[in-house]
């Protein structure tokens, strides 16, 4: 059985690792890297650390407008599908790589398998929301990470081919957290940040906030971005922010000065796991980091008005904040009662890769 897998962005690399290892025991996987994330620290390091096989094809699409990027991917993926003649095409999540892969497969009548199907923020201004809705409606297998996702699809009349497999990112966290601790414990993390990622401060575990900001709804509006970083300057502990190259360019263009905020280069997966687990709180607009914080029992404040990961809001582990100084400070400084509540297994049991693999292998049986 030959399946083509489309990946192109950091969250997809993380999800691809456990699936590729499992599926290749039984079938042939052709891995296609679109090049949506092409910076070494946003791409290559993940393949090395997570043991992801070398891509069979690297499209080198790079950045660009949504239409330009998606169109280039669609054209190149279609050529590969015609050449390889797979029995299915696997796509992850909600990026432009996801949509391009799904469209290419659908137009050639190749079944599309969507990992992380059924997520909804109910904000169609988000490009990610558009991508995931369109992908779900042309997919044959809808591989959902949670029961909430299954119910979201049911509301849209999608019930055929829907399977709750659990979350692949949970698989990856469970597989790698011990290795992360082994590599970076005993001060190694701080030395690594200083020597290789541009940190210029002495910090202690649990005495810093970890932040990421990259959503277009925040970075494309200078006033919002200024509000976020001005608030970071008011927090009671330093803020470490591995800065997305796109966001860094915008900050530099607007001359936003930072003192309490410690900007570093994007880090690899294992170091990011360590920083997440050992921060006092995560402050982010990233969907994936919300989950990773939840899995590692680190409180989170999400700088968005909605989240597709509503499960993380249970018992206050994650709270949403609108983009204004008072709201962000209130949510970050909240009383952390979440530690009084055990976390239910809302994202599966860490066996999502096996369940997804079996769903594909047994399709139609």
Q: What amino acid positions are annotated as catalytic residues?
A: 214
- Beta-carbon contacts of residue 247 (< 8 Å; ≥ 6 apart): 213, 214, 219, 225
Residue 111 to residue 140: CA distance in whole angstroms? 6
For residues 175 and 169, the answer to whether their CB atoms sit within 8 Å is no
Residue 79 to residue 7: CA distance in whole angstroms? 16
Phi and psi, residue 329, nearest 5°: -60, -40
For residues 223 and 292, the answer to whether their CB atoms sit within 8 Å is no
Angle at 297 between CA 211 and CA 259, to 5 degrees: 20
SS3 sequence of 303-317: CCCCCCCHHHHHHHC
- The helix (H) or strand (E) run that includes residue 245 is helix 245-253
Tally Cβ neighbours within 10 Å of residue 255: 6
In Å, how far from its chain's centre is CA 197? 21
DSSP bridge partners of 264: 242
Tokens describing residue 94: 């909600």
Which residue has 């398998």 as its token pair?
113
Which residue has 């469970």 as its token pair?
174
Phi and psi, residue 301, nearest 5°: -120, 125
Residue 81 to residue 241: CA distance in whole angstroms? 39
Residue 148, exposed/middle/buried by CB under 10 A (0-12, 13-18, 19+)?
middle
Listed residue (101, 38, 97, 43) closest to 66, CA to CA: 97
Listed residue (11, 18, 45) closest to 270, CA to CA: 45
Residue 176 to residue 272: CA distance in whole angstroms? 11
């Amino acid at each position: 059985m030959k399946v083509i897998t489309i990946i192109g962005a950091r969250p997809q690399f993380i999800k691809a690792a456990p699936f590729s290892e499992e599926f290749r025991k039984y079938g042939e996987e052709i891995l296609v890297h679109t090049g949506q994330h092409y910076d070494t620290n946003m791409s290559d390091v993940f393949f090395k650390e997570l043991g992801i096989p070398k891509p069979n094809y690297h499209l080198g699409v790079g950045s660009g407008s949504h239409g330009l990027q998606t169109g280039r991917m669609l054209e190149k993926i279609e050529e590969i599908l015609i050449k390889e003649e797979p029995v299915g095409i696997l796509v992850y999540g909600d990026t432009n790589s996801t949509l391009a892969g799904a469209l290419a497969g659908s137009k050639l009548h190749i079944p599309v398998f969507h990992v992380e199907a059924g997520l909804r923020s109910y904000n169609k201004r988000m490009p990610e929301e558009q991508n995931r809705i369109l992908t779900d409606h042309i997919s044959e297998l809808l591989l959902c990470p949670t029961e909430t996702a299954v119910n979201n699809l049911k509301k849209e009349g999608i019930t055929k081919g829907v399977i709750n497999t659990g979350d692949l990112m949970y698989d990856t966290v469970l597989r790698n957290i011990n290795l992360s601790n082994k590599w970076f414990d005993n001060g190694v993390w701080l030395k690594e940040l200083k020597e290789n990622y541009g940190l210029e401060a002495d910090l202690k575990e649990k005495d810093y906030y970890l932040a990421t900001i990259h959503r277009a709804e925040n970075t494309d509006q200078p006033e919002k971005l200024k509000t976020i970083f001005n608030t970071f300057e008011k927090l009671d502990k330093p803020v470490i922010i591995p800065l997305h190259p796109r966001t860094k360019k915008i900050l530099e263009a607007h001359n936003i000065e930072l003192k309490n905020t410690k900007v570093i280069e994007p880090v690899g997966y294992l170091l990011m796991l360590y920083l997440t687990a050992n921060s006092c709180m995560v402050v982010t607009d990233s969907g994936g980091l919300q989950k990773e914080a939840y899995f590692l029992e680190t409180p989170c404040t999400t700088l968005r008005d909605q989240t597709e990961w509503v499960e993380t809001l249970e018992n206050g582990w994650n709270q949403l904040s609108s983009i204004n100084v008072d709201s962000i400070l209130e949510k970050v400084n909240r009383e952390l009662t979440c530690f009084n509540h055990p976390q239910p297994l809302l994202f599966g049991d860490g066996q999502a890769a096996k369940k997804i693999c079996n769903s594909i292998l047994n399709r139609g049986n």
